[in-house]
């Protein structure tokens, strides 16, 4: 049976490694490993890659990363996720690094609700972050082509959500919104799973590149969209991934605090031999209520 497309999501490409992967010798090379596997699978099956959002971790990464992505991201079709959008606003898509990939013809943007014929036995509707999903036109239901919805929106099943996950985002609650689709591919929830929404099978891609400490136990995979509308999971080799063995309390504090991440980026720019480096650490600890474990790590850094 032919494979029509390779589906994945939540790459969150970044110039610098997240704290949990900070021991990687070359973070760009670490991100290239799964991308090369995606490319190999796509070339083997002679089919396109479909990205269900969040290609970048932020909408305005350093030009170095944008240029790297142009060279290393397998060509394909995509919808933007909230991390790809300035202030999470779809109307500002043209101001993003995602749009640079479109202009560079690395990806083809799937417009909201606009049918895109892949000419490979499938019809694709793109539904970016924040755009309401619409049903398939009755005239297109029941034909030979697979009607595929590519959606970036949080969706979950029991045990694969977060505390307080809204019931309206349950996979089972999506049935009426997916009428007419033969299959729906989702991005946003980094935990991959398959489920049903009424008569429509759902494939939530999960993260392609693991970044956070709580993602260490996940198995990144791509979905192989088959010509009968089913999706088969193809797991990636992540044996070469390196993880930092840090105090869990410190990792949690850093990962959950955007200002802390920005502060660490600032330190990386200064360099450990700079006098401004010591001043920045002291100022941060003086001005903020720093968790004891974080303060300990910062002080140890000053003493080295």
- Give the pairing type, strands 115-117 and 122-127: antiparallel
Q: With 60 as the cut, is the pLDDT of residue 274 above it? A: no
Say what the pLDDT of residue 200 is.
Answer: 94
Domain boundaries of the chain, sorted by first residue? 3-235, 248-303
CA distances to 7, 71, 157, 173, 184 from 194, rounded to whole Å, are 13, 32, 9, 14, 10
pLDDT at 138: 73
Mean pLDDT of 81-105: 96
Strand partners, 197: 200
Pick the CATH number of 3-235 from 3.40.50.2300, 3.30.300.30, 3.40.50.1980, 3.60.21.10: 3.60.21.10
Query: Residues 196-225: pLDDT tens digits?
Result: 999 999 999 999 999 998 999 999 999 999
Flag whether pLDDT at 263 surpasses 90.
Answer: no
pLDDT over threshold 60, residue 275? no
Please, are residues 220 and 12 in contact by the beta-carbon 8 Å criterion? no
Task: Report residue 89's pLDDT band, with 50, 70 and 90 as the boundaries.
Answer: very high
pLDDT at residue number 231: 94
Residue 175: pLDDT band with limits 50, 70, 90: very high
Assess whether pLDDT exceeds 70 at residue 194: yes
CA angle 67, 237, 10 (to 5 degrees): 50
> What φ, ψ does residue 290 adopt, rounded to 5°?
-85, 135
Is 266's pLDDT higher than 60? no
CA separation for the pair 138, 217 (Å, rounded): 42
Q: Please state, in angstroms and rounded to a whole number, the distance separating the CA atoms of residues 174 and 169.
A: 7
**296-304 contacts, C-beta under 8 A, 24 or more apart:** 297/246, 297/247, 297/250, 301/272, 302/278, 304/272
Where does the pLDDT of residue 279 fall: very low under 50, low under 70, confident under 90, or very high at 90 and above?
low
Exposure b/e, 41-64, CB count within 10 A at least 16 = b? bbeebebbbbbbbbbbbbbebeee
Q: How far apart are CA 85 and CA 57, in angstroms?
A: 10
Q: Note if the pTM is more than 0.75.
A: yes
């Amino acid at each position: 049976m032919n494979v029509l497309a390779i589906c994945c999501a939540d790459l969150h490409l970044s110039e610098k490694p997240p704290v949990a992967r900070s021991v990687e010798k070359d973070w760009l090379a670490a991100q290239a490993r799964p991308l090369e596997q995606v490319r190999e699978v796509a070339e083997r099956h002679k089919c396109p890659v479909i990205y269900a959002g969040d290609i970048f971790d932020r909408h305005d990464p350093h030009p170095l990363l944008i240029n790297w992505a142009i060279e290393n991201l397998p060509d394909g079709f995509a919808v933007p996720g909230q991390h790809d959008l300035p202030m999470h606003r779809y109307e500002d898509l043209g101001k993003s690094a995602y749009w640079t990939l479109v202009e560079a013809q690395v990806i083809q943007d799937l417009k909201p609700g606009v049918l895109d014929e892949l000419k490979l036995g499938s019809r694709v509707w793109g539904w970016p972050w924040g755009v309401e999903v619409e049903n398939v036109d009755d005239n297109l239901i029941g034909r030979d082509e697979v009607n595929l919805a590519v959606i970036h929106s949080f969706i979950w099943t029991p045990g694969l959500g977060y505390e307080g996950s809204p019931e309206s985002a349950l996979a089972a609650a999506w049935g009426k919104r997916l009428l007419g689709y033969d299959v729906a591919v989702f991005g946003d929830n980094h935990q991959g799973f398959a489920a049903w929404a009424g008569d429509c099978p759902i494939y939530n891609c999960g993260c392609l590149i693991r970044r956070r400490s709580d993602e260490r136990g996940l198995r990144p995979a791509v979905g192989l969209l088959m010509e009968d509308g089913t999706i088969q999971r193809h797991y990636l080799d992540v044996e070469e991934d390196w993880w930092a063995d840090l105090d869990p309390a410190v990792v949690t504090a850093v990962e959950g605090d955007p200002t802390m991440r920005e502060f660490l980026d600032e330190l990386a720019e200064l360099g450990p031999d700079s006098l401004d480096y010591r001043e920045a650490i002291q100022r941060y600890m003086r001005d903020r209520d720093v968790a004891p474990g974080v303060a300990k790590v910062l002080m140890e850094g000053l003493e080295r």
